[in-house]
Amino acid sequence: MMNTLVSTEWLAAHLNDVRVLDASWYMPADRRDAKKEFEAEHIPGAVFYDLDALSEQNTQLPHMLPSPERFARDMGALGVGDGDMAVVYDGAGLFSAARVWWMLRVMGHDKVAVLDGGLPKWKREARPLEQGPPRPRQAHFTARPVAGQVRDFAFMQKAVGNTQILDARSLSRFTGEEKEPRPGLRSGHMPGAVNMHYRSLLHADGTVKSDEELRRIFAEKGVDLRAPIVTSCGSGVSASILMLALARLGAPETSLYDGSWSEWGGHPEAEVVTG
Protein backbone atom coordinates (compact mmCIF):
# COMPACT_ATOMS: atom_id res chain seq x y z
CA MET A 1 0.00 0.00 0.00
CA MET A 2 2.74 2.41 -1.02
CA ASN A 3 0.13 4.96 -2.10
CA THR A 4 -1.08 5.36 1.48
CA LEU A 5 1.57 4.80 4.17
CA VAL A 6 5.30 4.27 4.49
CA SER A 7 7.18 3.43 7.67
CA THR A 8 9.99 5.42 9.24
CA GLU A 9 12.30 2.51 8.41
CA TRP A 10 11.34 2.69 4.74
CA LEU A 11 11.78 6.46 4.56
CA ALA A 12 15.18 6.31 6.25
CA ALA A 13 16.32 3.82 3.61
CA HIS A 14 14.93 5.85 0.69
CA LEU A 15 15.49 9.40 1.89
CA ASN A 16 17.59 10.32 -1.16
CA ASP A 17 15.04 8.89 -3.60
CA VAL A 18 11.89 10.77 -2.56
CA ARG A 19 10.60 14.31 -2.03
CA VAL A 20 9.65 14.88 1.61
CA LEU A 21 6.99 17.42 2.59
CA ASP A 22 6.39 18.67 6.12
CA ALA A 23 2.69 19.54 6.06
CA SER A 24 2.32 20.37 9.74
CA TRP A 25 -0.69 22.52 10.61
CA TYR A 26 -2.33 23.03 13.98
CA MET A 27 -5.61 24.37 15.33
CA PRO A 28 -5.29 27.89 16.81
CA ALA A 29 -5.98 26.49 20.29
CA ASP A 30 -2.81 24.40 20.03
CA ARG A 31 -0.71 27.61 20.01
CA ARG A 32 1.96 26.04 17.82
CA ASP A 33 3.88 27.70 14.99
CA ALA A 34 4.34 25.00 12.36
CA LYS A 35 6.77 26.97 10.20
CA LYS A 36 8.93 27.96 13.16
CA GLU A 37 9.01 24.36 14.36
CA PHE A 38 10.02 23.23 10.87
CA GLU A 39 13.00 25.57 10.82
CA ALA A 40 14.03 24.32 14.26
CA GLU A 41 13.98 20.65 13.21
CA HIS A 42 12.76 18.63 10.26
CA ILE A 43 13.50 15.42 8.38
CA PRO A 44 16.60 15.90 6.18
CA GLY A 45 15.74 17.27 2.75
CA ALA A 46 12.15 18.13 3.67
CA VAL A 47 10.38 21.25 2.44
CA PHE A 48 7.56 23.01 4.28
CA TYR A 49 4.05 22.90 2.83
CA ASP A 50 2.19 25.89 4.28
CA LEU A 51 -1.41 24.67 4.29
CA ASP A 52 -2.86 28.11 4.97
CA ALA A 53 -0.79 29.96 2.37
CA LEU A 54 -1.02 27.33 -0.37
CA SER A 55 -4.78 26.73 -0.20
CA GLU A 56 -7.28 28.74 -2.26
CA GLN A 57 -7.12 32.40 -1.23
CA ASN A 58 -10.20 33.76 -3.05
CA THR A 59 -12.65 32.39 -0.51
CA GLN A 60 -13.68 32.92 3.09
CA LEU A 61 -13.53 29.18 3.71
CA PRO A 62 -10.32 27.68 5.16
CA HIS A 63 -8.06 25.20 3.36
CA MET A 64 -10.03 24.98 0.15
CA LEU A 65 -8.41 23.16 -2.75
CA PRO A 66 -6.58 25.62 -5.03
CA SER A 67 -6.91 25.66 -8.80
CA PRO A 68 -4.94 23.02 -10.72
CA GLU A 69 -2.71 25.75 -12.16
CA ARG A 70 -1.91 27.18 -8.74
CA PHE A 71 -1.33 23.73 -7.24
CA ALA A 72 1.02 22.75 -10.07
CA ARG A 73 3.00 25.96 -9.67
CA ASP A 74 3.31 25.54 -5.91
CA MET A 75 4.30 21.89 -6.10
CA GLY A 76 6.92 22.64 -8.73
CA ALA A 77 8.34 25.42 -6.55
CA LEU A 78 8.60 22.92 -3.69
CA GLY A 79 10.60 20.56 -5.85
CA VAL A 80 7.92 17.91 -6.46
CA GLY A 81 7.97 16.81 -10.10
CA ASP A 82 5.77 14.53 -12.17
CA GLY A 83 7.94 11.46 -11.67
CA ASP A 84 8.74 12.01 -8.01
CA MET A 85 7.59 9.89 -5.11
CA ALA A 86 6.36 12.27 -2.40
CA VAL A 87 6.22 11.42 1.31
CA VAL A 88 4.18 13.73 3.53
CA TYR A 89 4.46 13.99 7.31
CA ASP A 90 3.40 16.29 10.13
CA GLY A 91 4.39 17.11 13.69
CA ALA A 92 1.28 15.60 15.26
CA GLY A 93 1.88 12.02 14.17
CA LEU A 94 -0.96 12.05 11.68
CA PHE A 95 -3.24 15.02 11.20
CA SER A 96 -2.65 17.54 8.43
CA ALA A 97 -0.30 15.33 6.39
CA ALA A 98 -3.31 13.38 5.14
CA ARG A 99 -4.78 16.58 3.68
CA VAL A 100 -1.76 17.18 1.44
CA TRP A 101 -1.69 13.47 0.53
CA TRP A 102 -5.33 13.81 -0.57
CA MET A 103 -4.65 17.03 -2.50
CA LEU A 104 -1.86 15.37 -4.46
CA ARG A 105 -4.05 12.40 -5.32
CA VAL A 106 -6.94 14.64 -6.35
CA MET A 107 -4.53 16.39 -8.71
CA GLY A 108 -3.62 13.06 -10.28
CA HIS A 109 -0.31 12.38 -8.49
CA ASP A 110 -0.56 8.82 -7.15
CA LYS A 111 3.09 8.47 -6.16
CA VAL A 112 2.48 9.84 -2.67
CA ALA A 113 2.30 8.36 0.82
CA VAL A 114 2.01 9.55 4.41
CA LEU A 115 4.77 8.82 6.92
CA ASP A 116 3.12 6.56 9.49
CA GLY A 117 3.60 8.14 12.91
CA GLY A 118 5.07 11.29 11.40
CA LEU A 119 7.80 13.39 12.95
CA PRO A 120 7.11 12.22 16.54
CA LYS A 121 7.90 8.59 15.62
CA TRP A 122 10.94 9.67 13.59
CA LYS A 123 12.27 11.56 16.62
CA ARG A 124 11.50 8.77 19.10
CA GLU A 125 13.71 6.54 17.00
CA ALA A 126 16.53 9.11 17.16
CA ARG A 127 16.70 9.47 13.40
CA PRO A 128 18.59 12.42 11.85
CA LEU A 129 17.14 15.92 11.73
CA GLU A 130 18.01 19.14 9.93
CA GLN A 131 17.61 22.77 10.91
CA GLY A 132 17.02 25.94 8.92
CA PRO A 133 14.79 27.03 6.04
CA PRO A 134 13.99 24.63 3.19
CA ARG A 135 16.12 24.53 0.05
CA PRO A 136 13.83 23.22 -2.70
CA ARG A 137 14.91 22.85 -6.29
CA GLN A 138 12.48 23.80 -9.05
CA ALA A 139 10.62 20.93 -10.70
CA HIS A 140 7.85 20.51 -13.24
CA PHE A 141 4.52 19.30 -11.83
CA THR A 142 1.50 18.62 -14.01
CA ALA A 143 -1.92 18.71 -12.34
CA ARG A 144 -4.41 16.22 -13.76
CA PRO A 145 -7.56 16.62 -11.60
CA VAL A 146 -9.45 13.39 -10.95
CA ALA A 147 -13.20 13.79 -11.42
CA GLY A 148 -15.62 13.02 -8.59
CA GLN A 149 -13.16 13.38 -5.72
CA VAL A 150 -14.26 16.81 -4.46
CA ARG A 151 -17.82 17.65 -3.38
CA ASP A 152 -19.44 21.07 -3.01
CA PHE A 153 -22.45 22.46 -1.17
CA ALA A 154 -24.89 21.81 -4.02
CA PHE A 155 -23.84 18.17 -4.19
CA MET A 156 -24.13 17.75 -0.43
CA GLN A 157 -27.67 19.14 -0.37
CA LYS A 158 -28.68 16.29 -2.68
CA ALA A 159 -26.48 13.76 -0.91
CA VAL A 160 -28.12 14.22 2.50
CA GLY A 161 -30.32 11.22 3.10
CA ASN A 162 -29.09 9.46 -0.04
CA THR A 163 -25.36 8.97 0.46
CA GLN A 164 -23.18 7.79 3.34
CA ILE A 165 -21.64 10.87 4.98
CA LEU A 166 -18.85 10.34 7.51
CA ASP A 167 -18.03 13.23 9.87
CA ALA A 168 -14.50 13.12 11.28
CA ARG A 169 -15.07 15.71 14.03
CA SER A 170 -15.24 14.81 17.73
CA LEU A 171 -18.49 13.39 19.07
CA SER A 172 -19.18 16.50 21.16
CA ARG A 173 -18.90 18.76 18.11
CA PHE A 174 -20.99 16.33 16.07
CA THR A 175 -23.80 16.28 18.63
CA GLY A 176 -23.67 20.04 19.13
CA GLU A 177 -22.70 19.86 22.79
CA GLU A 178 -19.38 21.56 22.06
CA LYS A 179 -19.23 24.99 20.45
CA GLU A 180 -17.50 25.16 17.08
CA PRO A 181 -13.96 26.61 17.21
CA ARG A 182 -14.67 28.89 14.24
CA PRO A 183 -16.98 31.86 14.94
CA GLY A 184 -20.34 32.17 13.22
CA LEU A 185 -20.97 28.44 12.80
CA ARG A 186 -23.95 26.57 14.18
CA SER A 187 -23.27 23.43 16.19
CA GLY A 188 -24.43 19.97 15.15
CA HIS A 189 -24.18 17.84 12.03
CA MET A 190 -25.70 17.11 8.63
CA PRO A 191 -28.87 14.99 8.67
CA GLY A 192 -28.04 11.31 8.40
CA ALA A 193 -24.30 11.78 8.87
CA VAL A 194 -22.32 9.19 10.83
CA ASN A 195 -19.77 10.34 13.38
CA MET A 196 -16.36 8.74 12.96
CA HIS A 197 -13.81 10.73 14.91
CA TYR A 198 -10.50 10.54 13.06
CA ARG A 199 -8.65 9.64 16.26
CA SER A 200 -10.58 6.36 16.46
CA LEU A 201 -8.55 5.23 13.42
CA LEU A 202 -5.19 5.93 15.06
CA HIS A 203 -3.11 4.45 17.84
CA ALA A 204 -2.09 6.75 20.68
CA ASP A 205 1.31 7.27 19.03
CA GLY A 206 -0.24 8.64 15.83
CA THR A 207 0.25 5.53 13.71
CA VAL A 208 -2.67 4.13 11.74
CA LYS A 209 -4.43 1.05 13.06
CA SER A 210 -4.19 -2.22 11.16
CA ASP A 211 -6.42 -2.84 8.16
CA GLU A 212 -8.33 -5.42 10.19
CA GLU A 213 -8.99 -2.91 12.95
CA LEU A 214 -10.02 -0.25 10.45
CA ARG A 215 -12.42 -2.62 8.74
CA ARG A 216 -13.99 -3.49 12.09
CA ILE A 217 -14.41 0.20 13.03
CA PHE A 218 -16.18 1.01 9.78
CA ALA A 219 -18.38 -2.09 10.13
CA GLU A 220 -19.36 -1.15 13.69
CA LYS A 221 -20.51 2.23 12.38
CA GLY A 222 -22.65 0.51 9.75
CA VAL A 223 -20.58 1.81 6.84
CA ASP A 224 -20.86 -0.11 3.57
CA LEU A 225 -17.41 0.19 2.02
CA ARG A 226 -18.78 -0.88 -1.38
CA ALA A 227 -21.25 2.02 -1.58
CA PRO A 228 -20.48 5.73 -2.21
CA ILE A 229 -19.00 7.59 0.78
CA VAL A 230 -18.40 11.30 1.35
CA THR A 231 -16.15 12.44 4.20
CA SER A 232 -16.42 15.74 6.04
CA CYS A 233 -14.98 17.48 9.11
CA GLY A 234 -14.39 21.08 10.18
CA SER A 235 -12.36 22.34 7.23
CA GLY A 236 -11.38 19.31 5.15
CA VAL A 237 -8.25 18.38 7.12
CA SER A 238 -9.21 15.46 9.35
CA ALA A 239 -11.73 14.24 6.74
CA SER A 240 -8.63 13.41 4.70
CA ILE A 241 -7.58 10.93 7.40
CA LEU A 242 -10.82 9.05 6.75
CA MET A 243 -9.98 9.16 3.03
CA LEU A 244 -6.59 7.62 3.79
CA ALA A 245 -8.17 4.80 5.79
CA LEU A 246 -10.77 4.18 3.09
CA ALA A 247 -8.03 4.01 0.47
CA ARG A 248 -6.23 1.39 2.52
CA LEU A 249 -9.40 -0.70 2.62
CA GLY A 250 -10.00 -0.36 -1.10
CA ALA A 251 -13.31 1.51 -0.89
CA PRO A 252 -14.10 2.13 -4.58
CA GLU A 253 -16.18 5.32 -4.50
CA THR A 254 -15.06 7.95 -2.00
CA SER A 255 -14.98 11.74 -2.07
CA LEU A 256 -14.45 14.65 0.31
CA TYR A 257 -16.71 17.62 1.01
CA ASP A 258 -14.14 20.38 0.71
CA GLY A 259 -16.13 23.14 2.42
CA SER A 260 -17.04 20.74 5.26
CA TRP A 261 -18.60 22.20 8.40
CA SER A 262 -16.97 25.59 7.82
CA GLU A 263 -19.38 25.95 4.90
CA TRP A 264 -22.36 23.83 5.97
CA GLY A 265 -22.53 25.15 9.52
CA GLY A 266 -22.53 28.75 8.33
CA HIS A 267 -24.87 28.38 5.35
CA PRO A 268 -28.44 29.68 5.94
CA GLU A 269 -29.94 27.03 3.63
CA ALA A 270 -28.20 24.10 5.31
CA GLU A 271 -30.20 21.87 7.64
CA VAL A 272 -28.44 21.22 10.94
CA VAL A 273 -29.41 18.59 13.50
CA THR A 274 -28.09 17.99 17.02
CA GLY A 275 -27.94 15.07 19.40
Which pLDDT value is given to residue 2? 67
Please classify residue 147 by burial: count the beta carbons closer than 10 Å to its beta carbon, then call 0-12 exposed, 13-18 middle and 19+ buried: exposed
User: Is the pLDDT reported for residue 12 higher than 60?
Assistant: yes
Which pLDDT value is given to residue 135? 86
User: Is the pLDDT reported for residue 1 higher than 60?
Assistant: no
Q: What is the mean pLDDT of residues 98-113?
A: 98
Which pLDDT value is given to residue 29? 84
The string of DSSP letters for 40-75 reads H-B-TT-EE--TTTTS--SSSSTTPPPPHHHHHHHH
Q: What is the pLDDT of residues 180-216, one digit of tens each?
A: 999 999 999 999 999 999 999 999 999 999 999 999 9
Q: What is the pLDDT of residues 224-275, one digit of tens each?
A: 999 999 999 999 999 999 999 999 999 999 999 999 999 999 999 999 999 9
Which pLDDT value is given to residue 241? 98
pLDDT-derived band at 28 (thresholds 50, 70, 90) equals confident
Give 140's contacts (C-beta < 8 A, 6+ positions apart).
76, 81, 82
pLDDT-derived band at 27 (thresholds 50, 70, 90) equals confident
pTM of the complete model: 0.97
Q: What is the mean pLDDT of residues 13-26?
A: 97
Give 31's contacts (C-beta < 8 A, 6+ positions apart).
none
Look up residue 144 and give its amino acid.
R
Task: Identify whether the C-beta of residue 235 lies closer than 8 Å to the C-beta of residue 150.
Answer: no
Buried b (16+ CB within 10 A) or exposed e, 83-119: ebbbbbbbbbbbbbbbbbbbbbbbbebebbbbbbbbb
Please list the active-site residues.
233
Q: What is the pLDDT of residues 121-138, one digit of tens each?
A: 999 999 999 999 988 999
Comparing 27 with 169, the larger pLDDT belongs to 169
Q: What is the mean pLDDT of residues 52-70?
A: 96
Task: Identify whether the C-beta of residue 58 lies closer than 8 Å to the C-beta of residue 67.
Answer: no
Which pLDDT value is given to residue 209? 98
